[in-house]
Structure formats: C-alpha cells, structure tokens
Structure 1
Amino acid sequence: MKLNEKKKNTGYFAGIILFSINIVTSVILMISFISIDILPCKYLVPVIMILLLLTGLVFFTQVSGKGTNVGKLISIFMILAFIFITASLFKIHNMFLAISGPGAKIDLVSVVVLVEDPAEVIEDTSTYEFGIQKYIDRNNTDKTLKLISDKIGCELKTVTFIDFNSQIEALYKKEAKAILLNEAFRDIINELMPDFNYRTKVLGYQEIETKIEIKPSDKTDNAARSIINVDSFIAYISGIDTYGTVSRTGRSDLNIIAAVNTAAKKILLINTPRDYYVSVPVDGGQMDKLTHAGIYGVDISMEILEQFYDIQIDYYVRINLTSLNDVVDALGGIDVESEYDFETVVDAIDASTGIIITPEYGYNAVEKYSFTKGINHLNGKAAMAFARERYAFAGGDNQRGRNQMLVIKAILNKASSPSVVSGIGAIIDTVSKNFETNMSSGEIYNMIKMQMNDGASWDIMMYNVKGTGDSRTTYSAGNQRLYVMIPDEETVIEAREKIMEVMDNK
C-alpha cells in the first residue's frame, strides 16, 4: 500500500513539475507572439485561447489527480512544441532585423602587382610608386592609401591616371609598380583588357565600409512611418553582379522598379536594361551605363531611377547572384513561364567560393541548360541561367529583362504559397544572408499581417522599357567606347504612366 502511495505521490509531483513547465513555456510563447507582433488580431486571439485550453488540459491530466502516462506524454510534447515555436519566432525576428534598416556598402580595394613581381605581401610595397585613379572612386582610394600607410609606417608615393587603360598600361610597362583597384571595377577592366587577370596578382585587400544614406520618404514621418498605413509604395530591386556577402559593391545587372498598391493587390514590375545610357550623379554628373551605377552604391542607382522616371522610390531590396541561386533552392524550386524555347551555356561556379571553375589556363568549365516555351520548373542554378541569358534572343537585353521579371514573379508566387511552410528554416537562413533592405522590421511585419488578414492573391504585371544599341564612352571605363543602350523615350514615358496608374489604382 505504501509503495502504491509512493508511486502515486511521485506521479503527482511529476505532474506538478510538467504543469509548471507548461505554464512557463506557454506564457513565454504568448509574450513572444505579442511582442514580435507578427500575427493579426484575428489570429492572435484564437492562438491565445488555444494556449489557455491546452494549459487547462495539462492541469486536468497532471494536477487534478486524474493524470495518466499518456497525459504526461502529451504534456512533454506540448512543452517541446512551445519551445520550438518560440525559437522559430525569434529566428524569424532575427532574420528581419538582419536584413532590414540602415545598410552599408563594402568595397574591397586590392593592391595589384604584376604576376612576376617579387612582392608577396602589402608590406613589401613600401618603396613602390602606386598608380591610382584621379577621379574614379577617389574616396575609397584615399581611405585605402591612409590605411596602408598606417599599416606599413610610411606615406606611399602615388601617380594619378584619368582612366583604367592608362593605369593598367603603366603597370604593364612598370612605370607604376603597383596599383590600387576597387574589385567592383575588375569586370570592367576585364572587358577592356582580357589578359589582366593572368598578368597580375593581388597582394592583399583593404575593406572599406560606408553607410548607405537614403533620403526619407515623404509619405509619412520617417521616424514612425508604417507601410500598413499607406496604400502604395515604390521599391527598387537591385541584383548585384557579385558572389558572397550582399553588402559587397558590384555592377547592378538587375534593375527592377516594383510599384506596389497594397489596397488593390497590384504589383507592377518595370525593368530598366542594365546597359541604359544614363546620367550618374558622381563627379558632377557623368554619362554611364546603369549597371555601373551599382559600383557606387544602391543609393546612387536609386537616385538615377528616381530622376529618370520622375518618381520617388521608398525602399530598396538588394540581392546578389548567390541570393537568386540559394533562395530558389530554399523555396524548393520555382515554376517559370518561358516565352521562348532556348538554350544557354554558363560558367560553372564553385558553390563554396563563388569562383568560376577553370580546369586549365584560359578555359572555363561550362554548364548547359535548355528551356521550353511554357512552364519550366527550375532549381537555383537553372533560374540564374534563365535570368542571365541574352544572346539567344533577337531582343537581346530587352528579353533578358523580361526573363528576370518572370523569375522575380515566380519567386513572389512561390513565396506567398502555403507550400513554403515545410522549408521555412532553410528559407530563413537563406534570406538572412542574401537580402538587404532599408524597410524596417516593423514594416515587414505589417506587410505580413496585411497579407494574412485578407489572404488575397496579387495581380503581378510586367513592363520593359526599350532602347537601341550604340557605342559610347562611359565614366567608369574612361575614353574606351563600350556597348550602351540609348533609351527609347516613348517607352520610358509609358512606364512612368503605368507606375502612376498602379499607385493611383486606375
């Protein structure tokens, strides 16, 4: 009898402990839902009621004297579930904190010498004369010179050049023993001098971080603006031609304006071709390709597009090539509706480093992809190949722009579908690393709550401005003529009108 009483008491006390843990974990979960503020009221109230009912169930099975072993298993399961949901909520919250708010751009400025130069580290260049740009990227150049001078303990000797051609030629002729190069310009230099990578080596890098300054929106007070309180806004989606961290500066190959009307559930995507010949607000205003503007920062690209379309852009979303690959895979692939049958060949990329695989000197490994007219289910690499191809089309860059918007549309459709729940962990990890936006976490939560409130589908429309090819000098490449696209003013005007129609819900 005493043994049975002892077992009964032990079971009772175990029930008390489980009930106490249930109370603590359920209270923490309720506080998490309320403080993070991710659920609309119509869902938050039922969730709290369910938590209270579950707590009552635990009390009945563990404390009332009617507890059973099955009840204890239910209690343990609930505790683990509460802990998991709470941890997931904070993981989502941390993700939004990581991608949102005031951003920064990171420039990697390298010390470059000829491949046969005996120098092995930056300190070996203390007696060298450095070739630097007189105007282009001068702010980062001056910061790098100071950092290197402080590092090696002496002031560096420099000679200035007005363009990359003359700077690189001076290095080749050993008139300058080293040069400073912002790595964001390397692809431009490779267009001008295809042998540059093979004839030079990098001794080291200096990382320059600069805060991105975006002027406030005039829709609301910037200190307390809330996207849920406005019916429409405009966002700039910038796709940077780099791998690795999204904060790295690089050419902006994807330039899409998204006009969003939250009341009418309409999104208009406007693509501006990367080679558009536009005025860049650097060094007094210079003509350059739109893609080159990304090198100077997402804020510069935004300013160009605002002036070009006579609009105000409220937010930016910045992604890179790694983002597209990883996000599509995290979503479990996307369904893209191709307008043509076509094939493409792309460089094979080392997934861990983002570097083009080169089996032998001067030859890159390639991967081939085929797409059919209609729906194509694509993984990350295939989506990236689909979005980057232009030579397979008579429309060239114009069609590439449409394909990029088709990929963005497919991502938006997949991200808003219930099927993404099963892969939410991988999606959170991917988005945390590969996205950057000036939208606050509170504004993102408000968008989520708004979508959960009505659950309505979005009407996603697309428009592509056009232009004609030409050869012109550009600010970033100096006197060297490059392919550019002269804007078709009629399509630009039409794009502006379409943006206004969506914003005004006409």
Structure 2
Amino acid sequence: MVVFVLLVGAGVGGLIWERQSTLNGNIKRLPKSMPTGNRPAPGAKGTENWLLVGSDTRAESATTGQGNQVWKPGGQRSDTIMLLHLPADRSNAYVISFPRDSWVDIPDYGKQKINAAYSFGGAPLLVETVESLTRVRIDHFGIIDFAGFKTMTDAVGGVEVDIAQSVYDPARKVHWTAGRQKLDGEKALAFVRQRYNLRNGDFDRMKRQQAFLRALAAKAADGGTVTNPFKLNRFLGAFTKSISVDDGVSAGDLRSLALSLRGLRAGDVRFMTVPNKGSAARGKQSVVLLDPRKASALFEAVRTAGVEEYVKTNGGVNPGGKVS
C-alpha cells in the first residue's frame, strides 16, 4: 500500500530519484482498475485521496505486486479498507478505516458488506462503491496481500506494539501476553488478523491494524531506515515488489508524493474509523451499520479539505497506546 511511502517520509524522494527506473519496474499496475462513467468531482485543490486495501486471499503464493495472480471473481475479499487523505499542505495524513462488514449499497448488487465489492468486481467496483458511499473522488488505488504484508514488516526488522491484556487467539492458537511485543512478519500478520476473543471483535481488530501501521511508521521514520541507505533500499525494494496500484500511478507520481511528504513524521499520521452505530443483524449476517449523519460530516470534511477542523470539533482520532 502506498501508505508505506508516506511513513518513511524524508529521504525517500532522493532514493526514488536515483533508482526511479528500477523501482518503477518493480511496481505492478492494474489495468482498468478505476471506474468509468459518472464519478465525484475532484477534491479540493492540492489534496489527494488513496483507497488502500489489504486482500484476504488464502492463496499460498503472492497475489499482489509481482505475484502471478491479481484478482479473480469470488477469489478475494478486501480484509482491510482504508482511505488515505492528504491535505494540500501535507502537514498531516489521515487514514480512515472502513469496517469490513459495513452494510452499504454496492452498485448492481444492492445492500452487501463492503468487503464483498472487491470479490464481485475487483478494484473498479470497490472504488465505485466507496465513491458512491462517500462522494469523495478516489485519485489512486493500492492493494497488498498477506504475503506482501509479511515482507514489508520483515524489511524494517519487525515492529513493536503494546498489548493491554493477555488474550488467546483460538483461530491461530496464539497466546498474546500483555505488554510490549516484538513482531516479525509472521507474528504481525497474526496480530492484525485476530478477531475472536477480542472484547469488541472487528472494531478491536481495526485498532490493532492501526496500531501496527503506527508502529511501522515509527520504525521506518525513526528506526534508522531513512538514514541508512541499505535499509532504505531494502525497504523500498520490498514495498515496490509487494504492492499493486492503479495504472495511472507512475514512478514520477511516487517521487513527487514522497518529496511532498518529506517533512511528515510518524506522529503526523492520524488514524480514524468511519462513524458507525455498531453491529447489527441482517438476515443471518452480522453487519456494521454506519452512522449516516456523522459519517456524512466526515466525508464532507474530506471533500472540502476540512478534516482538521472536523477532528477538533468531533474528535474520533485513535490516540494510539495499548490495544486489546
């Protein structure tokens, strides 16, 4: 996911400049990955919106980046869905998580869980679904699967997270002990995928995902990755080989993005979740109902470059710290 570029901030631009051809050749482009037809108007001048997705395919080999498969109908759902909003001055970056069970309208399919959109129609349908829901124009799309996720984590030498209380994951038979934990790629994957035995289920799972990204940001920005050219080279190599992006993204775009974010630090990345009313039942399905009024206010703030004002008024930013 392109969010990893912003996490390293300063120093990335120079290396991309020097190795633009190689890095550009690593990146997998998805043909026809953006929707056609009527779309929302572009956002406020200078802002940029990326739809970032983690795929939940259980294939043994990679399916994003330089993997052999990218998408096939019914084969993958979007396990993680995040909207990365970059304000014009790049003083902050806002990562907004969508609960994967959000009950929304999927064009041509009616009411469904939002993560089904990728399974039904790949990137174009998921982007169209998010744009229809939010009326926010998505500028670019990026996706990474579990194999890429592990590679990215190991490329920075692992990350540390703080777990509030000991918990057992019955699905993966993992005991998590309260306190500071060092996660390599395999452990990080288990950490962000746990859903059962967490007090708030998928909501705690999203907090874990956000905590992991915050930890990765800190490790990449402050753990020597940026200042050490060998570490940075390894990180960017792993990143560019693991992701797939829409075919409108060029190496020049990534270089410009990195340069514009060179002053950004881990603490400037703010994590939020789309306002919702919690879980509910629809037939035999457990779903999440979004809060129309509060969610609409957030999406309006994204469209009009008013997210910082929205946060001051409404709060909702995940402050970090210990997670379940």
Q: Which residue of 2 aligns with 1:308?
A: 133
Q: Which residue of 1 aligns with 2:321?
A: none
Displacement of 1:266 in angstroms is: 0.9
Q: Which residue of 1 aligns with 2:302?
A: 499
Q: Which residue of 2 aligns with 1:415?
A: 220
Q: Is the alpha carbon distance of 1:334 and 1:457 closer, same or farther for their aligned partners in structure 2, counting shifts above 3 Å?
A: closer
The size of the alignment, in residue pairs, is 278
Displacement of 1:371 in angstroms is: 4.5
Instruction: From the two aligned structures, give the one with the greater helix fraction.
Output: 1
**Structure 2 matches for 1:86-105, cutoff 5 A?**
89-90=18-19, 93-99=21-27, 102-104=29-31
CA distance, structure 2, for counterparts of residue 384 and residue 498 of structure 1? 32
CA distance, structure 2, for counterparts of residue 217 and residue 497 of structure 1? 12
Alpha-carbon displacement from aligned partner over 1:172-218 (angstroms, at most 9, x marks no partner): xxxxxxxxxxxxxxxxxxxxxxxxxxxxxxxxxxxxxxx42345996
Q: Which residue of 2 aligns with 1:427?
A: 235
Query: What are the ranges of 5 or more consecutive residues in structure 2 without an aligned counterpart?
Result: 1-11, 65-69, 310-324
Q: Is the alpha carbon distance of 1:268 and 1:448 closer, same or farther for their aligned partners in structure 2, counting shifts above 3 Å?
A: closer
Q: Is the alpha carbon distance of 1:447 and 1:468 closer, same or farther for their aligned partners in structure 2, counting shifts above 3 Å?
A: closer
Q: Does structure 1 residue 441 correspond to structure 2 residue 266? A: no
Task: Give the conservation status (yes or no) of the 8 Å contact 2:35–2:125.
Answer: no
User: Secondary structure of 1:288's match?
Assistant: strand
User: Secondary structure of 1:376's match?
Assistant: strand
Task: Give the conservation status (yes or no) of the 8 Å contact 1:328–1:383.
Answer: yes
The one of 50, 60, 63 aligned to 1:235: 50
Q: Which residue of 1 aligns with 2:63?
A: 245
Q: Which residue of 2 aligns with 1:392?
A: 197
Displacement of 1:340 in angstroms is: 5.0
Query: What are the ranges of 5 or more consecutive residues in structure 1 without an aligned counterpart?
Result: 1-36, 40-84, 105-210, 221-228, 348-365, 474-480
Displacement of 1:472 in angstroms is: 2.9
**Structure 2 matches for 1:197-236, cutoff 5 A?**
211-215=32-36, 219=42, 231-236=46-51
Q: Is the alpha carbon distance of 1:391 and 1:457 closer, same or farther for their aligned partners in structure 2, counting shifts above 3 Å?
A: closer
Alpha-carbon displacement from aligned partner over 1:309-366 (angstroms, at most 9, x marks no partner): 221111111111112111001111123344554332454xxxxxxxxxxxxxxxxxx4
Task: Give the conservation status (yes or no) of the 8 Å contact 2:13–2:255.
Answer: yes
Q: Does structure 1 residue 322 correspond to structure 2 residue 250? A: no
Task: Give the conservation status (yes or no) of the 8 Å contact 1:265–1:458.
Answer: no
User: Secondary structure of 1:298's match?
Assistant: helix
Highest RCO, 1 vs 2 (Cα 8 Å, sep ≥ 6):
2
Counting aligned pairs with the same residue, the percent is 19
Q: Is the alpha carbon distance of 1:323 and 1:312 closer, same or farther for their aligned partners in structure 2, counting shifts above 3 Å?
A: same
Displacement of 1:268 in angstroms is: 1.5
User: Secondary structure of 1:414's match?
Assistant: helix
Task: Give the conservation status (yes or no) of the 8 Å contact 1:398–1:464.
Answer: no
Q: Is the alpha carbon distance of 1:496 and 1:370 closer, same or farther for their aligned partners in structure 2, counting shifts above 3 Å?
A: same
Task: Give the conservation status (yes or no) of the 8 Å contact 1:467–1:486.
Answer: yes
Q: Which residue of 2 aligns with 1:462?
A: 271
RMSD: 3.2
Q: Which residue of 2 aligns with 1:186?
A: none
Displacement of 1:495 in angstroms is: 3.2
Displacement of 1:395 in angstroms is: 1.6
**Structure 2 matches for 1:110-125, cutoff 5 A?**
none
Larger Rg: 1
User: Secondary structure of 2:84's match?
Assistant: strand
Q: Which residue of 1 aligns with 2:110?
A: 286
Displacement of 1:429 in angstroms is: 3.7
Q: Is the alpha carbon distance of 1:423 and 1:230 closer, same or farther for their aligned partners in structure 2, counting shifts above 3 Å?
A: farther
Could you state the TM-score of these two structures normalised by the residue count of structure 2?
0.73
Displacement of 1:418 in angstroms is: 6.0
Q: Is the alpha carbon distance of 1:307 and 1:394 closer, same or farther for their aligned partners in structure 2, counting shifts above 3 Å?
A: same
User: Secondary structure of 1:405's match?
Assistant: helix
Could you state the TM-score of these two structures normalised by the residue count of structure 1?
0.49
User: Secondary structure of 2:115's match?
Assistant: helix
CA distance, structure 1, for counterparts of residue 193 and residue 162 of structure 2? 15
User: Secondary structure of 2:105's match?
Assistant: strand
Task: Give the conservation status (yes or no) of the 8 Å contact 1:238–1:319.
Answer: yes
**Structure 2 matches for 1:125-144, cutoff 5 A?**
none
CA distance, structure 2, for counterparts of residue 467 and residue 337 of structure 1? 27
Q: Which residue of 2 aligns with 1:377?
A: 182
User: Secondary structure of 1:235's match?
Assistant: strand
